[in-house]
């Protein structure tokens, strides 16, 4: 049985400051590094053939910490297809202040809806449309030959992938949040049918 494990990067500085991060390259906080370390502790009994991450430092550093904690060295592939959703002109802005300016309802629509873009940014649908083709072309073939894979990426790129893996509807995905540093384990049979999903 093939195993795919998804981990959202540890807390970043902008997570801490409640800012829209998007594809800005923001570093981890000390807590974020600790969250990645704890994820590595939870994964010590797993064996991975390859790992994937985004082009952003918070995901790459989280992956490095996880692999270091596991005391393993495996191939790592970095690709912009796994980058966080681009929040356009909202990037870097404080979420609370943005809600005061535009109204909480509007900000919630920008943040949580499936197909509405923030100003000059990407919707979750846009993110889905770059993550899933990459997953199908680069990652699924490896799962089909029973390789075990670790992906360390971002809240929205992983939400897009969860939609595909768990057949979550656009209506239901708006209610899904992914915690930082918590591994999510997907197990597949030989025909790549999903057997189980657990959080560690």
What CATH number is given to the structural domain containing 162?
3.40.50.1240
Assess whether pLDDT exceeds 90 at residue 147. yes
| Count: domains in the chain | 1
> By residue range, what is the domain housing residue 115?
2-199
State the average pLDDT over residues 34-54: 98
Instruction: Taking residues 185-192, report their average pLDDT.
Output: 94
Q: Are 128 and 163 in contact (CB under 8 A)?
A: yes
pLDDT score for 174? 87
Which residues belong to the active site?
9, 84
Average pLDDT over the chain reads 96
C-alpha count within 13 angstroms, C-beta hemisphere, residue 29: 13
For residues 27-39, give the mean pLDDT. Answer: 98
Res. 112: pLDDT tops 90: no
């Amino acid at each position: 049985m093939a195993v795919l494990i998804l981990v959202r990067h540890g807390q970043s500085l902008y997570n801490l400051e409640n800012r829209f991060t998007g594809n800005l390259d923001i570093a981890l906080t000390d807590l974020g590094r600790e969250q990645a370390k704890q994820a590595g502790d939870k994964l010590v009994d797993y064996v991975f053939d390859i790992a994937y991450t985004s082009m952003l430092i918070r995901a790459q550093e989280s992956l490095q910490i996880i692999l270091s904690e596991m005391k393993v060295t495996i191939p790592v592939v970095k690709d912009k297809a796994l980058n966080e959703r681009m929040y356009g002109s909202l990037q870097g802005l404080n979420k609370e202040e943005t809600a005061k300016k535009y109204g909480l309802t509007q900000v919630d629509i920008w943040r949580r809806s499936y197909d509405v873009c923030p100003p000059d940014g990407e919707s979750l649908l846009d993110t889905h449309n770059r993550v899933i083709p990459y997953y199908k072309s680069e990652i699924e073939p490896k799962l089909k030959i029973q390789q075990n894979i670790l992906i360390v990426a971002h809240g929205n790129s992983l939400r897009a992938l969860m939609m595909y893996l768990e057949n979550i509807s656009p209506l239901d995905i708006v209610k899904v949040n992914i915690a930082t540093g918590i591994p999510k384990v997907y197990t597949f049979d030989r025909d790549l049918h999903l057997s189980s999903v657990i959080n560690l």
